[in-house]
Amino acid sequence: MELVQDESMLLHLAVSAVFSGLTIYKLTKNKVKIENASVCGLLSLLTLGIISFFCASGRAVLTLFVLSCVAYYFSIPVRDMLPMEGKAVLITGCDSGLGHALAKHLDELGVLVFAGVLDKKGPGAEELKKICSSRLSLIQLDVTSGQEIKTACDKIKSRVRDEGLWGIVHNAGVLGYMADGELLPISVYKQCLNVNFIGAAHVTKMFMPLLRKAKGRLVSISSMAGHTPIPGFAAYAASKAALTMFCAVMRQDLFKWGVKVATIHPSGFKTNIFGSRENWSAQDQNILANLTADVKDDYGEEYLLKLRELHDEMAAISSSDLTPVLEDACHALFAQSPNSSYTPGRFAYLIPCLFRYFPLWVYDYFAKQIFQIHRNILPRSLRLSRTKNNGA
Ligand SMILES: NC(=O)c1ccc[n+]([C@@H]2O[C@H](COP(=O)([O-])OP(=O)(O)OC[C@H]3O[C@@H](n4cnc5c(N)ncnc54)[C@H](OP(=O)(O)O)[C@@H]3O)[C@@H](O)[C@H]2O)c1
């Protein structure tokens, strides 16, 4: 028994040493980020390793440890990239933000970029024309217009011919406005669904023959809100959840054609997505104009004005370094073995884990702390009844 225990210990030490060496080498070589899922996996394994080391009936636990090490090693994402030069990629919504930055980034890497823009004469499009190489083509593309999608497809088809289109990045998106779901006008729900989901589905359908020809990549910028409830995001989150599930099903449908599908779920990045002060007052007016008298009375106009601060708060906790999203989009487009899901940004992996694997009250508690939403803001009638109760 003692000998078995000693053999187990020796084996345990040998496996740990080999595993540690190989893992550190692979994590460094593939530039795996510290907040990545792989690191959580590594911590779980270390715990299992320690248990198996001290466990009296070491064999079973040791076998489990060895098997887990092997599984973990193969789960580390590999960054073997395919050649990018000359491969054609369409990105929607390149007027500003992530799409704009991705168009520049891919152009620098030698990719043949088709940058879809909402306004071909706008400042974002002009900047791309000025800064990028002659490889980049600006494409007028409002993803809610069937006519513009068709014209864009015909144009790109005549450029790529038999090569087909290597990649589509569904990036165009709108947030609408952050407010309680009850307050948001139906027009905001429709706008979010039309741009964030129907637009992406329509573009996918139109360009699919070109993508299948190249056995290429379908990449969508969804959102952390697409798989995790965040207060104030009812319209946006529902449209992103639709996009996320669309991509998940398309991944299965397109497998037989050799087309790979990936979804990116970023957390907060500082772009134009949170709108501007002028845009917020227009949204306030739109909300007020669509409320019934009793709802307006229950919430109070001052509540709406306070909600505006949420946009500032969200922008303040967002990162101005867009690199994590650009790197993940590149990996999804050009890695030999892309992931099906990416979570760039602060807490983009941890917050959905809290939602998925912990009791709801734990998630609700942290969501309230992290998003600061509704902490100090109360609708008028709730405020009044609390004051009354405190006075009684
Ligand atoms: N920034 C974040 O924190 C964050 C987090 C998670 C997910 N995302 C997603 O990332 C994507 C890019 O957003 P962003 O943060 O870069 O915000 P952004 O700067 O507002 O970029 C969105 C782009 O989509 C364009 N667009 C809007 N409606 C369109 C339409 N109908 N057809 C074509 N293009 C349209 C916008 O054009 P205009 O500028 O002319 O309006 C803009 O260029 C979005 O899908 C967003 O939901 C962003």
Q: What is the pTM of this model?
A: 0.86
Q: Is 344 in the pocket of ligand 1 (CB under 6 A)?
A: no
3-state DSSP: the chain helix, strand, coil percent, rounded to 5?
Answer: 60, 10, 30
pLDDT of 339: 94
Token reading at 231: 């207060």
Q: How far is the CA of 195 from the centre of ligand 1 (A)?
A: 9
Of 18-22, 257-261, 305-309, 347-351, give the lowest mean pLDDT range: 18-22
Question: Region 323-328: what's the mean pLDDT?
Answer: 96
Best mutation site among 98, 145, 230 for ligand 1 pocket (most ligand atoms within 8 Å of CB): 98
The rounded distance, in Å, linking the Cα atoms of 312 and 52 is 49
Q: Is 328 in the pocket of ligand 1 (CB under 6 A)?
A: no
Looking at the chain, the whole-number percentage of residues with pLDDT higher than 90 is: 62
Question: Region 109-129: what's the mean pLDDT?
Answer: 97
The rounded distance, in Å, linking the Cα atoms of 12 and 44 is 16
Question: Region 157-179: what's the mean pLDDT?
Answer: 95
The rounded distance, in Å, linking the Cα atoms of 39 and 72 is 10
pLDDT of 132: 98
pLDDT of 305: 82
Q: What is the pLDDT confidence band of residue 121, given thresholds at 50, 70 and 90?
A: very high
Question: Region 145-164: what's the mean pLDDT?
Answer: 97
Token reading at 79: 């960054």
* Tokens 């070491």 belong to residue: 58
Is 158 a residue whose pLDDT tops 70?
yes
Helices 97-108 & 323-334, crossing angle to 10 degrees?
60
Do residues 54 and 12 make contact, with C-beta atoms less than 8 angstroms apart? Answer: no
Q: Is 223 in the pocket of ligand 1 (CB under 6 A)?
A: yes
